[in-house]
């Protein structure tokens, strides 16, 4: 089997790592990939958003299956193009990917199908005064979101009305997120605890992975600005069996039924970002792909042949498939460049990856590149240091032992990954 993975981050390294464990011994290509994926297959110098070149490569190289990591090519219609060419691919069509590509579409969709979420209003990007008046009428705390894709940084949780007005100005006037701010969603601040549930679906049937919890804020204790994710762990104890049943019945199944009813069956990975309060799950956001860094903790726990599961997803044959998830816990600590999620320097030499592996950690590369002198930093989130353990505490201890072995100038990371999970388990 010849498999192409599209993307270049830690999620894609984790995907390639998991696929490399398949008993089918697939030949793996990653476009454009990173030094971590290069060690497991062949990197292809094609950007993830270059749909035309990716299709040409898949046709020329007789690729049996393409798996898309990031959201941008999905929203741009890579699945539509590949399917039209008869190329098997995992992911939603452009119309279905609007669940992530447009928060305004997603909120309206959830309202139509009575999927539990926060109350909201949507404003056009030039309606600053109207949006500001709505904030003043609703009060704070309140959440302001750029409707389009903003690399996980377009949702601003505002503790005061002044903060919310400043967020509106940042998005609508200063255009900090560009075209992503052409529409703005203002929604109720939901209380509770966040978690992520991933469903793989062929449009009709679906399976769910073990639930995970991401850590979006850059600082300890969930403080500071949002990032693409500073770490994750799985399973997330806030998602009990009863909560997961509700997620399936009240969120995943109505979403799949609604998308099919509207003529856009949803296929691929449906990421349900949830807020859970007193056992009631509500949707914070939908994403149309695996989370990053959640993929780095979910995939190592998967005991199925991932290549087989993804092929069945692409072929519409998920009926009868059951995911087998390991009984261990997994934890991932992201090591980021100094200054992230703001401005940061690159080209910092990285050492200690072999030492981290000797301590039991798996290191998934994200923002890295290779120079004649060795591995260096080349992004905001640089590495995802991941470990398994019989308990969450053990997994965290091993992951942090791996972090301690790795060095690059200006490295920053959170020391409290998994703190909410530990609190649940100790209560």
Q: What is the pLDDT of residues 245-263, one digit of tens each?
A: 999 999 999 999 999 999 9
Cβ burial, residue 402 (10 Å; 0-12/13-18/19+): buried
Q: Do 149 and 289 form a contact (C-beta atoms < 8 A)?
A: no
- Range 120-188: architecture per CATH: 2-Layer Sandwich (3.30)
- Whole-number pLDDT of residue 222: 92
Chain segment 230-246, per-residue pLDDT in tens:
999 999 999 999 999 99
Strand partners, 176: none
Q: What is the pTM of this model?
A: 0.94
Give the pLDDT band of residue 225 (cuts 50, 70, 90): confident
Beta-strand pair 27-32/2-7: parallel
Query: For residue 426, what pLDDT is reported?
Result: 87
**pLDDT (tens digit, 9 = 90+) per residue, 19-37?**
999 999 999 999 999 999 9
What is the rounded average pLDDT of the residues 327-352? Answer: 97
| Cα 313 from Cα 398, distance rounded (Å) | 33
Confidence of residue 113 (pLDDT cuts 50, 70, 90): very high
Distances (CA, A) of 392 to 53, 54, 113, 325: 42, 39, 36, 15
Q: pLDDT class for 179, splitting at 50, 70, 90?
A: very high
The CATH class of 192-315 is alpha beta
The reported pLDDT for the residue numbered 427 is 76
Q: Is 90 exceeded by the pLDDT of residue 154?
A: no
pLDDT confidence tier of residue 152, bands split at 50, 70 and 90? confident
pLDDT band at residue 95, thresholds of 50, 70 and 90?
Answer: very high
State the Cα–Cα distance between residues 131 and 36, nearest whole angstrom.
45
Per-chain mean pLDDT for the chain = 96
Instruction: Dump the DSSP string for 350-394.
Output: -B-HHHHHHTT-EEEESSEEEETTEEEE-SSEEEEEEEEESSHHH
How much is the pLDDT for 210?
Answer: 96
Q: How high is the pLDDT of residue 137?
A: 95
Q: What gap in Å lies between CA 172 and CA 144, rounded to an integer? A: 11
Fold observed for domain 329-426:
3.90.600
Query: pLDDT over 70 for what percent of the chain?
Result: 100
Domain 2-76 in this protein, CATH class: alpha beta
Instruction: Confirm whether 2-76 and 120-188 share one CATH topology.
Output: no
The answer on pLDDT for 291 being more than 90 is: yes
Give me the residue spans of the domains in the chain. Answer: 2-76, 120-188, 192-315, 329-426
């Amino acid at each position: 089997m010849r498999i192409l993975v599209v993307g270049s981050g830690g999620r894609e390294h984790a995907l390639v790592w998991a696929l490399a464990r398949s008993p089918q011994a697939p030949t793996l290509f990653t476009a454009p990939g990173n030094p971590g994926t290069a060690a497991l297959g062949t990197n292809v110098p094609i950007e993830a958003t270059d749909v035309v070149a990716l299709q040409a490569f898949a046709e020329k190289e007789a690729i049996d299956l393409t798996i898309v990591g990031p959201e941008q090519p999905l929203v741009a219609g890579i699945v539509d193009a590949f399917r039209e060419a008869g190329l098997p691919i995992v992911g939603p069509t452009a119309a279905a990917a609007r669940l992530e590509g447009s928060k305004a579409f997603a909120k309206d969709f959830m309202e139509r199908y009575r999927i539990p979420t926060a109350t909201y209003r949507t404003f056009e990007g030039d309606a600053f005064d109207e949006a500001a008046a709505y904030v003043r009428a609703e009060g704070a705390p309140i959440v302001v979101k750029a409707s389009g894709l903003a690399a996980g940084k377009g949702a601003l949780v505002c503790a005061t009305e002044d903060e919310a007005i400043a967020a509106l100005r940042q998005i609508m006037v200063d255009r900090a997120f560009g075209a992503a701010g052409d529409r703005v969603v203002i929604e109720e601040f939901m209380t509770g605890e966040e978690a992520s549930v991933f469903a793989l679906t062929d449009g009709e049937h679906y399976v769910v992975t073990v639930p995970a919890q991401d850590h979006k804020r850059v600082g300890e204790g969930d403080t500071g600005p949002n990032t693409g994710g500073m770490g994750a762990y799985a399973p997330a104890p806030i998602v009990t069996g009863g909560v997961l049943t509700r997620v399936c019945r009240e969120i995943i199944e109505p979403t799949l039924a609604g998308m099919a009813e509207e003529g856009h069956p949803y296929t691929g990975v449906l990421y349900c970002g949830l807020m859970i309060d007193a056992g009631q799950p509500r949707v914070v956001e939908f994403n149309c792909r695996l989370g990053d860094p959640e993929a780095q903790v979910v995939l190592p726990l998967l005991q199925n042949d991932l290549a087989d599961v993804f092929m069945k997803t692409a072929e519409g044959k998920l009926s009868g498939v059951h995911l087998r998830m390991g009984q261990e816990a997994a934890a991932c600590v992201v090591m980021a460049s100094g200054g992230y999620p703001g401005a940061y320097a690159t080209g910092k030499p990285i050492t200690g990856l072999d030492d981290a592996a000797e301590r039991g950690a798996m290191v998934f590369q994200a923002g890295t590149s290779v120079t004649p002198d060795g591995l260096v930093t080349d992004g905001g989130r640089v590495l995802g240091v991941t470990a398994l353990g019989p308990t969450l505490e053990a997994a965290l201890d091993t992951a942090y032992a791996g972090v301690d072995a790795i060095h690059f100038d200006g490295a920053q990371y959170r020391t409290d990954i998994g703190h909410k999970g530990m609190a649940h388990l100790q209560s």
